[in-house]
Amino acid sequence: MYNGSVAYGSSKAALTMFTRATAIELAQHNIRANAIRPTAIDTDMLKSSMSKPGAQEFLAAFFERTPLKKRLEPAHVANLAYFLSSEQSASITGEDVAIDCGVGIV
């Protein structure tokens, strides 16, 4: 763990509970509420942070330990958002969906 773990973990838990409570409250109006929880996304912002000391090594090790051995692309997250907003997911609500190339299972 690292400094800031309490704040980070607490905020993640709060978002999960917010999503669930919102789903319960809005279900009567046939409105679904889901959260998307991505890992590090391969974006310009991520690439710009590579100049910080140790960042390249940290990210290389992070991506190496993902079971799928790949980086999360913005399109992956967009596709999930599209699915969750479509009728194909009409029975899904109150979920906190991790999209992380499997890093959450190791």
pLDDT at site 4: 67
pLDDT at site 47: 76
Q: Which long-range contacts (CB under 8 A, 24 or more apart) does 19-26 make?
A: 19/94, 19/95, 19/96, 20/94, 20/96, 22/94, 23/93, 23/94, 24/94
pLDDT at site 106: 82
Which candidate in 4, 8, 26, 40 is catalytic?
Answer: 8
pLDDT at site 94: 98
- Tokens representing 62? 């992070």
Domains of the chain plus CATH, in order, are 5-105 (3.40.50.720)
What's the whole-model pTM score?
A: 0.81
pLDDT along the chain (106 residues), means of 10: 75 95 98 94 79 81 85 93 98 96 87
Give catalytic status of residue 82 as yes or no. Answer: no
Contact assessment for residue 35 and residue 15, using Cβ atoms and an 8 Å cutoff: yes
